């Protein structure tokens, strides 16, 4: 028979409610699963409503017309082929600089001229050539933008190698055991040292590698994993079809139905269209992120045995806008830090000014990739990127922890549809209403 003490033992103790912030993440698992189920069901309802209202709009053949106006004219592909000329030009300049056939000032001038042409030449073709489509222009300009960033890094790293070699020669006349007879000094432990890296094989490996930052010795994986590669290829194929289907079936009708509210300046309907567009736009953006940064870049890395696979970090846990931009696109972030942010800091700029400079450069390239293919300059993308600066301050100042993460997600979900609608509206007015306007 239990004693009276055990029967009357107290049943209360100091503890928090489950919904308190200190109760632990595991207590929310069921609620999070409920949210996921509700999200899936609500989107399924929207998708079914879309099918009932518009029918099946998916047309893979129509996608071809987005890239080509004339099946016998391939201007975007020609632009990609011509890009090889600028890479070879940068390589030839570096070869001459390595042997002293050019001065550093002359080499800098040639590199600057080459980089300016890399940006201006495709822009002029995309803007002036009527046979090139907006989608073809975007793809060509993206390739040229990556080429610009890669050649910029290629020039910087080779310059640092020459400076290191010059300092090594000046400091010691007696060569170290690992130094070559011609005075070359290894800039990093590995099989290649400057100027032995100046070969076409090294150049083209860098141009096709999934990175924007050049190194003399990239980390390499020991072999190509065939199963891993096959999974990534199947993902690329599946998500490509899914993206095309979602854009044609879901986004295009929503955007088309948004033109009348914009024309009539019906603000309540504009907000309703914006919120309706936010769901498919964000879903497509998330799928695109996985398709490009995981499937595509890992496919290229596996084929080239490129060892560094950190193409993104946990940006979805971002509690500040700054953390998001530092972690969602690692190749671009590394380039900005290595070739823009740190050089500005070394020249005496403040941390805040260097950050502003990075956002200005990013804003320029965002606008470059949108306005030129559309042949109109509205600066919505530029303004959106610049707006990240005050937004980052507001989120870091007034929102912390989970609230900061929620604020980041809200800006991602709402901000992109605003820019999409702005550009689509202006493009529609410019190309469809302007020609029919009276004198």
Catalytic residue positions, numbered: 366
192 to each of 195, 199, 289, how far by Cα in Å? 8, 11, 34
Angle between helix axes 351-374 and 104-128 (nearest 10 degrees) is 40
Question: How many CB atoms lie under 10 A from the CB of residue 277?
Answer: 23
What phi and psi values does residue 393 have, to the nearest 5 degrees?
Answer: -65, -45
Cross-strand partners of 306:
220
Angle between helix axes 267-289 and 226-246 (nearest 10 degrees) is 170
- Residue 339 in contact with residue 152, Cβ under 8 Å? yes
Tokens of 83: 């890009």
- Residue 424 in contact with residue 247, Cβ under 8 Å? no
Place of tokens 């060509």: 140
| Cα 346 from chain centroid (whole Å) | 26
142 to each of 367, 370, 420, 439, how far by Cα in Å? 12, 10, 18, 39
Whether the upstream peptide bond of residue 195 has omega within 30° of 0, thus cis, is: yes
Contacts of 329 (CB under 8 A, 6+ apart): 293, 311, 312
Tokens of 43: 């989107």
Taking the C-alpha atoms of residue 185 and residue 183, their distance in angstroms, rounded to an integer, is 6
Residue 292 DSSP label: I
Which conformational region is residue 118 in: left (phi greater than 0), alpha (psi within -120 to 50 degrees), or beta? alpha
Cross-strand partners of 220:
306
Helix (H, G, I), strand (E, B) or coil at 220: strand
């Amino acid at each position: 028979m239990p004693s009276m003490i055990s029967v009357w033992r107290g049943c209360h103790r100091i503890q928090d409610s489950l919904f308190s912030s200190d109760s632990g993440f595991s207590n929310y698992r069921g609620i999070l699963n409920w949210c996921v189920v509700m999200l899936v069901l609500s989107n399924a309802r929207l998708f079914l409503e879309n099918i009932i209202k518009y029918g099946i709009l998916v047309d893979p053949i129509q996608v071809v017309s987005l890239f080509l106006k004339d099946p016998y004219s391939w201007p975007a592909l020609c632009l990609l082929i011509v890009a090889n000329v600028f890479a070879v030009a940068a390589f030839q300049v570096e070869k001459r600089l390595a042997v002293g056939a050019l001065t550093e000032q002359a080499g800098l001038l040639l590199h600057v001229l080459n980089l300016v042409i890399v940006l201006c030449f495709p822009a002029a073709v995309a803007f002036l050539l009527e046979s090139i489509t907006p989608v073809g222009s975007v793809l060509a300009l993206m390739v040229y933008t990556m080429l610009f960033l890669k050649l910029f890094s290629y020039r910087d790293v080779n310059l640092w190698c020459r400076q290191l070699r010059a300092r090594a020669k000046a400091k010691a006349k007696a060569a170290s055991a690992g130094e070559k007879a011609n005075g070359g000094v290894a800039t990093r432990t590995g099989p290649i040292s400057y100027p032995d890296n100046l070969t076409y094989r090294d150049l083209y490996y860098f141009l096709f590698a999934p990175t924007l930052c050049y190194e003399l010795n990239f980390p390499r994986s020991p072999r190509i994993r065939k199963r891993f590669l096959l999974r990534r290829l199947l993902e690329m194929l599946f998500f490509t079809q899914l993206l095309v289907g979602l854009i044609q079936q879901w986004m295009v009708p929503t955007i088309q139905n948004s033109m009348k509210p914009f024309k009539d300046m019906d603000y309540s309907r504009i907000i309703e269209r914006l919120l309706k567009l936010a769901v498919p736009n964000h879903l497509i953006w998330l799928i695109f992120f996985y398709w490009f940064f995981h499937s595509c870049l890992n496919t290229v890395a596996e084929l080239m045995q490129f060892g560094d696979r950190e193409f993104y970090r946990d940006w979805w846990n971002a509690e500040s806008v700054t953390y998001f931009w530092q972690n969602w696109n690692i190749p671009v972030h590394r380039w900005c830090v290595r070739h823009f942010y740190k050089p500005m800091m070394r020249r005496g700029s403040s941390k805040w000014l260097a950050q502003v400079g990075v956002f200005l450069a990013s804003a320029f390239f965002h606008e470059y990739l949108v306005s030129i293919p559309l042949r109109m300059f509205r600066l919505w993308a530029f303004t959106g990127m610049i707006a990240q600066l005050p937004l980052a301050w507001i989120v870091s100042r007034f929102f912390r922890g989970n609230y900061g993460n929620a604020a980041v997600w809200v800006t991602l979900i709402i901000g992109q549809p605003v820019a999409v609608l702005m550009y689509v509206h202006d493009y529609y007015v410019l190309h469809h209403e302007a020609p029919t306007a009276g004198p």
